[in-house]
Chain A
Amino acid sequence: MMDREERKLRRSPFVIRDRALNDYLQGIACRLAGDHCPDVRVHVVNTPLFNASMAPNGMMQIWSGLLLRAENEAQLAAVIGHEIGHYLEKHTLERLRDVKSASAFGQFIGLFGLVGALGQLAMLAGMFSFSREQERRADVIGVSLMHRAGYDPAEAAKVWTNLLQELRARPGGDPTANSPMFATHPPAAERSETLNKLAAEFSGGETRKDAWQEKVRPFRREWLKEEIRRGQHEESIALLTRLNAADAGEPDYLHARGEVYRLRAGAGDTDLALADFQAAAALGGEPPETHRGMGIIYRARKQPDAARASFRRYLETAPSAPDQAMIKSYMEDLGI
């Protein structure tokens, strides 16, 4: 059944088939898995949430939301190492044996395929969560695999701290209900403490941030668009503020945060949006939509000269943008 799910996954339009990215991520998984490398098959899935999973047949899914959130290779290695830990300890098989009814069995198998509705994922994952002892074992194995592969295990605790910080930003948000990863794992505070202790035992190693940035950069704008599209403005602002701090001088993150502020449109948000757009433009290499966002704000503020200049810049830098006609109509209203 798991092989059937994997065949479906291979055909899915949601899978990212870029050879270079897949080879790179497969390489990280192999570096961690060592002799078990031939067992692990990595599939990258375009879904804007933090998640990775590994099925008992060796099918590993990594979601684009996780790739956007990892600041370096070591942080991704921490998640992959943890999932390989479950695989080596056969935790998933143990859970499978515990599943009694046929319908629950089908749901459990489905957890490792492409989950149809994201809203159901956390609920299903929670139903089939690993025990606290299994999670602790997977953490121990994950950190030791990181250490053996030359990664800095201190990055493992940061992954969970970062994710918790993001989920807590949502008004009234319950992290355990909002994220598939938290639904299947122990409380993040406990996890961070455990991982910090393990990192102290296995100190040293590298983060490989530069290699990471180079490999994911070609996909980042698309992943950022999907993050903005989620409409979870508070979570996105927390995430993008962290990424801006971790990678100062990156116009993509500044533009994305500016766009989230603009769309949230709360008190003071257009000022914050404009500041981010201007900072992105000052850095250079900003997405063309930076200028569209500035133009829309200037237009609303009745600053026609500034609006026209921004719209003109957008049309010049994005000549095939789908909203060219709409932007031109805005310019006509302003009086070209």
Chain B
Amino acid sequence: MKKLLLTVALLALSGCVSVAKIESGDKTVGERMSVHIDGAWNHVNAPGIGPAELWTMEGTPVDQLLIYSVLKDGQAVHAESSGSDNKNFTFRSNMQPDEIAGLFEGMLTRDGSRYRLVKLEPVDYSGLKGFRFEYSLVRKIDNVQLSGVGYGAVSRNELFAVLYMAPRLVFYPRHIARVEHIGRSMRVRP
């Protein structure tokens, strides 16, 4: 996650980042996934930030909404890094919900941040069985305490997911209702 933030910051400085407004309403992400958005978001677009779309309300150092419109078997949940000192956390199509939540946990703790799973529960996305999880995170780089929520489902051996995190005291409570709306509205075409 720190790498993602640094990449965005560096690209912003070099002028390679574009930010587009996403309006309320139905939004198709990728080929098979759609969500419904209540309120406008900012879509941050930059090369090399990984397999997910990056959206934010307050700016990426503060809150991040990652939307995985498709993750195929063998693909990492983050921008892959070479070198043996950095573990890549890779999706396998036979993974169970606890293992998929564990993938995101691995991604978020690659820099030494502390993660705690608060809740993992089943969710039905219009007939597609999926899951939802809540977590807390103490970010290593600045000791900020974050709260987060994730939604996911596997369809035709591909993972579709939404992951959100924001500082626990102000920004998470401010935006969680909109994020819940997006997460629970996730639909995946068969």
Residues in A lying within 8 Å of B, measured CB to CB: 11-14, 46-47, 114-119, 122, 170-174, 177-178, 229-232, 263, 265, 292, 296, 300, 322-323, 325-326, 329
Contacts and interface: CB of A to CB of B under 8 A. Distances in A.
Nearest to B134: A322
Given A116-B140, A323-B121, A325-B121, 10 more contacts: A12-B143, A14-B112, A117-B141, A118-B111, A118-B140, A230-B87, A265-B94, A300-B94, A323-B119, A323-B120
**What bracket does the count of chain B residues touching chain A fall in?**
35 or more
A170 B87 CA distance: 11
B125 to A, nearest CB: 14
Contacts of B87: 230-232
A323 B118 CA distance: 8
B145 interface: yes
Contact of B98 (A114, A170, A174, A326): A326
Interface string B121-158: 11000000001000000101111010000000000000
12 contacts: A47-B112, A173-B84, A177-B85, A229-B102, A229-B105, A230-B106, A231-B89, A323-B120, A323-B121, A325-B121, A326-B97, A329-B121
B117 A13 contact: no
B86 A119 contact: yes
Given A326-B131, A329-B122, A296 B96 contact: yes
B2 interface: yes
Contacts of B110: 118-119
Contacts, number: 88
Nearest to A292: B98
B115 interface: yes
B114 A265 contact: no
Contact of B92 (A174, A265, A323): A265
A229 B119 contact: no
Contacts of A265: 92, 94
Nearest to B140: A116
For the residues of A in contact with B, the DSSP-based class is loop
A232 to B, nearest CB: 6
A174 B120 contact: no
Nearest to B88: A231
B109 interface: yes
Contacts of A122: 85
A29 to B, nearest CB: 24
Contact of B119 (A172, A231, A322): A322
Contacts of A329: 121-122
Pick from B98, B102, B106, B110 the residue with the most CB of A within 10 Å: B98
A14 B114 contact: yes
Contact of A229 (B84, B96, B97, B106): B106
B85 A326 contact: no
B26 interface: no
A172 B84 CA distance: 7
Contacts of A171: 84
Given A325-B120, A326-B122, A119 B97 contact: no
Pick from A13, A14, A231, A232 the residue with the most CB of B within 10 Å: A231
Contacts of A116: 2, 111-112, 140-142
A325 B119 contact: yes
A170 B86 CA distance: 11
Contacts of A47: 112
Contacts of B73: none
